Amino acid sequence: MIYPATDQLSSAERAFMINATEIDILPGVWGDLDEPLASGPASALVPVLLPLVDRGWIEVCRVIPWTAPDGTLGEQPGPPIPKQDLPAVLADAENWEYPQSGAWLGCLTLTLTEAGQSIPR
């Protein structure tokens, strides 16, 4: 499979790839977006994100608890949300906002797949 360099992606696609590289929670993508998407509705971003998932470059997961080998508690991405469930999950505007509690557990996060990690930067 031939992968594009990130400069061949749209600025919105690059924003999602950056977010996935950082394993940031989904609302973090807002800071990497250009206008008019940066101030637009989350519904305008779903058609940008889903093709990246369909290409096998990004997975959408929920943040779950994790315990390090030394017993330190932390967080990590959980298993990918099934593709058939993503449209409904991404339609929930709450998933696109930072949690008021400040706790990331249960929030959506993006991760690069092995194929996504192969895209030249």
pLDDT of 27-80, one tens digit each?
A: 999 999 999 999 999 999 999 999 999 999 999 999 999 998 999 998 999 999
| Inter-residue contact 89 to 46 (CB < 8 Å) | no
Backbone dihedral angles phi then psi of residue 112, each to the nearest 5 degrees: -80, 140
| Inter-residue contact 46 to 87 (CB < 8 Å) | yes
Closest CA to 51 of 17, 91, 1, 18: 17
pLDDT band at residue 117 under the 50/70/90 scheme: confident
Single-letter amino acid, residue 7: D
pLDDT digits (tens, 9 = 90+) for 2-13: 455 666 889 999
Residue 116: per-residue pLDDT = 86
Q: Give the CA dihedral 82, 86, 87, 91, nearest 10 degrees.
A: 150
Q: Measured between alpha carbons, how far is 51 from 100 in angstroms, rounded to an integer? A: 29
Cα separations in angstroms, 4 against 13, 45, 62, 105, 121: 12, 21, 27, 33, 9
Give mean pLDDT, residues 76-87. Answer: 95
For 65, the enclosing helix (H) or strand (E) is strand 58-67
Task: Find all residues with CB under 8 Å of 56, minimum gap 6, and list them.
Answer: 113, 115, 116
